[in-house]
Amino acid sequence: MRYTKEDITHAKQILDKSLRDKKKIVIVITKVAKSGMSRRMKVYTSHEDGLSHITWHVGAVCGLSMNDDGLLVTGCGMDMAFWLADHLTYCLWGDKAKDMELKGNGGSGCLDWQCLY
């Protein structure tokens, strides 16, 4: 899937607004390749009223391809849900994230996240 510059700008605005209040993101792994080299993930924000689906926005900001099963994340040898949370944090705020009061389970300067399998 290709994202236009307008898509990316819009997605950044939506995610910056919804995640700046230190909300937790929930990452759901929907599929794992037989080789273990890739997986599909859907992303939600957690708030008082439940979960909000933000997978498309995350894909646009991070430049990840997407289908009905979620975002395609490739690689192995590490926690790829952590990679996605850390990469999303960097794509949204860059090095400024280290100065923000983000104290997620990825450490200082990372969004708070939870993974469901």
pLDDT by position in tens, the chain (length 117): 689 999 999 999 999 988 877 678 999 999 999 999 999 999 999 888 889 999 999 999 999 999 999 999 999 888 899 899 989 998 998 877 777 767 666 566 788 888 988
Rounded to two decimals, the pTM is: 0.89
DSSP 8-state secondary structure symbol assigned to residue 78: S
Q: What does DSSP assign to residue 110?
A: S
The span from the CA of 100 to the CA of 102, in Å, is 5
For the four alpha carbons of 115, 19, 94 and 69, in that order, the dihedral sign comes to positive
CA angle 7, 11, 14 (to 5 degrees): 145
Q: How far apart (Å, rounded) are the C-alpha atoms in residues 84 and 61?
A: 11
